[in-house]
């Protein structure tokens, strides 16, 4: 049995164009196209950009890159966003800027109108979003320590200033930590090239009966940490990889529990990171 919940989230872009941001548009290339005036047939360029790595369509420049201006700027600003959304299902920025005394229009592909899909199965939950990874990235890059590459830094900065995110680039790490803390299996990422999907497998409930004052997640977590302390006491030179195998959790989960035990003053590591010993303090 499967239940499917779908919801579409549309985030308006806060990108504003000025003359200092036109350096990337001085040369026409595979991600930038110039047109003297708007024609509906140019929707195919927007669709092509959306299906590739994104791009910018500038209205009001000739094929030599010389600004000639747009006469119906106000009308295009009102009609183009709706036309692009209704015909292509794409959310695009449509902005006006001034260059050499001429008003030009910039159309930038911001995102797809396809809804986020949340699917609930008997044994897992999947969350799928129409998106592409940054160029030269793979799913493996996401699940390791990595730098932040937001598609729209302006929006990311607004969320940071509003307190909605702490720092950039730690969201995935926090998801893995939360699953480890709850004693759940590690989530899995999958990429089709057009959709990024996150799968949360359901964990097998612990066999022992939980204390009424504790949640099942807390019982699982405490049991894991108790086993870990025993292993550290008996084999002080055990590695993180060996602990993961013996405990049946991921190395990321091992790191999470070790940090919790160290913060609680129950263990400490003596010597170099590789080759040192673990000491159980209590």
What tens digit of pLDDT does each residue of 67-112 get?
Answer: 999 988 888 888 888 888 788 777 778 888 899 899 999 988 755 5
Residue 207: what are its φ and ψ, rounded to 5°?
A: -70, -40
Give the separation between CA 42 and CA 84, rounded to whole angstroms: 10
Q: Are 46 and 57 in contact (CB under 8 A)?
A: yes
Q: How long a stretch of residues is the chain? A: 282
Q: Where are the domains of the chain?
A: 12-111, 121-201, 216-280
Give the three-class secondary structure for 215: coil
Record the pTM: 0.43
**How many helices (H) and strands (E) in the chain?**
8, 11
Q: Is the pLDDT of residue 163 over 50?
A: yes
Q: Is the pLDDT of residue 123 over 60?
A: yes
Provide the terminal-to-terminal Cα distance of the chain, rounded to the nearest Å.
Answer: 48
Which CATH topology does 121-201 take?
Heat Shock Protein 90 (3.30.565)
Which CATH topology does 216-280 take?
Arc Repressor Mutant, subunit A (1.10.10)
Query: What does the pLDDT average to over 253-257?
Result: 86
At 72 the pLDDT is 86
What confidence tens digit (pLDDT) does each residue in 6-32 have? 333 333 333 333 333 444 344 555 678
Question: Structurally, what CATH architecture does the domain formed by 12-111 represent?
Answer: 2-Layer Sandwich (3.30)
Going by C-alpha positions, the residue among 72, 36, 78, 74 that lies closest to residue 57 is: 36
Burial of 161 by CB count in 10 Å (0-12 exposed, 13-18 middle, 19+ buried)?
Answer: exposed
Beta strands (DSSP E) in 187-266 are 188-191, 195-201
- pLDDT bracket for residue 168 (50, 70, 90): low
CB atoms under 10 Å from CB of 86, counted, come to: 10
Q: Are 77 and 156 in contact (CB under 8 A)?
A: no
Residue 22: CB partners within 8 Å, gap ≥ 6?
97, 99
């Amino acid at each position: 049995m499967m239940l499917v919940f779908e919801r579409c989230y549309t985030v308006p872009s806060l990108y504003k164009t000025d003359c200092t941001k036109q350096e990337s548009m001085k040369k026409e290339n595979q991600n930038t196209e110039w047109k003297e005036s708007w024609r509906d047939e140019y929707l195919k360029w927007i669709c092509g950009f959306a299906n590739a790595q994104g791009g910018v369509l500038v209205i009001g420049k000739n094929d030599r890159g010389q600004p000639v201006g747009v006469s119906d700027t106000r009308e295009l600003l009102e009609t183009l966003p709706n036309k692009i959304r209704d015909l292509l299902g794409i959310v695009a920025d449509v902005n006006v800027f001034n260059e050499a005394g001429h008003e030009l229009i910039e159309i930038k592909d911001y995102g797809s109108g396809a809804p986020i899909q949340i699917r609930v199965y008997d044994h897992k939950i999947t969350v799928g979003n129409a998106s592409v990874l940054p160029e030269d990235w793979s799913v493996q890059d996401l699940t390791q320590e990595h730098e932040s590459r937001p598609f729209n830094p302006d929006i990311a900065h607004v969320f940071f200033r509003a307190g909605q995110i702490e720092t950039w680039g730690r969201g995935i790490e926090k998801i893995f930590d939360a699953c480890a803390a709850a004693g759940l299996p590690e989530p899995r990422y999958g990429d089709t090239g057009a959709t990024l999907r996150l799968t949360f497998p359901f964990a097998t409930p612990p066999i022992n009966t939980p204390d009424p004052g504790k949640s099942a997640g807390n019982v699982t977590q405490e049991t894991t940490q108790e086993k870990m302390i025993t292993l550290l006491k008996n084999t002080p030179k055990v590695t993180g990889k060996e602990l993961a195998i013996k405990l049946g959790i991921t190395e990321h989960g091992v790191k999470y529990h070790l940090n919790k035990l160290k913060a609680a003053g129950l263990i400490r590591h003596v010597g170099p990171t590789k080759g040192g010993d673990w000491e159980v303090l209590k």
